[in-house]
Structure 1
Amino acid sequence: MGGRPKEKQEFDSRLIDLARVSRVTKGGKRFSFRATVVLGDGKGRVGIGTAQGRDVAQAMQKATQKGRKNIIRVTAVKGTIPHEVLYKYHSAVVLLKPAPIGNGVKAGGPVRIIAKLAGIENITAKLIERTGNKLNIARATIKALSELKYKETPIQQNNADTQSTTNS
């Protein structure tokens, strides 16, 4: 009953990958867990974090903290991305394409999770070089989204210029 009131979380988080990993020592195998977590606010900010811990909860908490440090801003225009982008990260090659309004998120695996958490409502994605490594697919998707550029039309640039000169 008492205590602090719970504050609303700034980011939603989703677990992409959880793996039990081992380190071989003189005394035998030491097991730990590796968690990959994606964070997003649904308004254009998304990040990914990967960390290891002695148990699942510790690994997820560490990964969430790392994800907060790796937040990027995604450029979205009318609920989709401004242009097509292809990105290769190690063995994963991801192709992201803009989609018309009402199309939805046509993507699978980590790409779908990242797009939803970034607030992109209409996108088509394809894994060109298919790999089972979800971590590489997620990192390729984040890097591809960070490479998006939004080019303003000359009319929008003129409006921005006139507003900045009138405010001065």
Structure 2
Amino acid sequence: MVKAGSITSLEQIFSMGKSIEENGIVDALLPNINSEVVEIRSVQRMTSNNRKQKFRVTAIVGDGNGHVGVGAAKDVEVKAAIDSAINAAKRNIMPVVMGCGSWQCTCGQPHSLPFITRGKCGSVEVLLKPAPKGLGIVASKHVKRMLELAGVKDIWSFSKGRTRTTYNVLMAVMDAFQHTISMKNLEDFNKSK
């Protein structure tokens, strides 16, 4: 459908309720997408003969304009794991609802989130709170990079739990973004009446 030209944006795919099965779809619809490897870890499992070592890679992708994704992959070689993680992040890409939800700012421009949202993954809980324009992103290193790739410019971030687990922190942020999609804003509510 993308190759034929009947779908021209990711929002059409998300509005139909379909998932992205191939990373080529994201490459075609978002040509200016950026990717970044966040973490490379060595993981081992014990077999009857010896230890088998693999590398686990966590990657994030985003276009800086309301789309972001997180992916993780394991492989024996680092390069193959990086490629697989970036492809998984492209398949897991999702829209980010932008707005101006801070009570200190009434500009009405989409520079932050429209309201406070929470996300959870494992023991990690993340709270994203809209901030006034000009404040910047107040978050940890990995969360800050993810929010930059999503296009968020001003936000406060609070996290608790075992935040050393980078993958769980990033997935908790994705869960918080998912809550912004499922929440109906006032304009959508008035249109449905």
The aligned residue for residue 15 of structure 1 is: 37
In 2: Cα distance, 1:25 partner to 1:55 partner: 19
Give 1:110's aligned residue: 142
More strand per residue: 1 or 2? 1
Could you tell me which runs of 5 or more consecutive residues in structure 1 were left unpaired when the two chains were aligned.
1-6, 162-168
Q: 2:163 aligns with which of 127, 131, 135?
A: 131
Q: Give 5+ residue unaligned stretches, structure 2.
A: 1-27, 100-109
User: Shift of the alpha carbon at 1:129?
Assistant: 2.7
* Equivalent pair of 2:118/2:175 in contact (CA under 8 Å): no
Name the structure 2 match of 1:69: 91
SS in 2 for 1:103: coil
- Counterpart AA for 1:100: P
Runs of 4+ in 1 over 3 A off after TM superposition: 7-10
Q: Which residue of 2 aligns with 1:121?
A: 153
Q: Which structure has the greater CA radius of gyration?
A: 1
Within 2, Cα distance between the matches of 1:58 and 1:45? 24
Report which structure shows greater RCO (CA 8 Å, sep ≥6).
1
Q: Name the % identity.
A: 29
Name the residue aligned to 2:62.
Answer: 40
Quote the RMSD (CA, aligned, Å). Answer: 2.3
TM-score normalised by L of structure 2: 0.72
Out of 113, 123, 126, the position equivalent to 1:91 is: 123
Number of residue pairs aligned between Structure 1 and Structure 2: 153
Distance, in Å, in 2 between the alignment partners of 1:53 and 1:43 is 31
The DSSP-based 3-state class of the residue aligned with 1:114 is helix
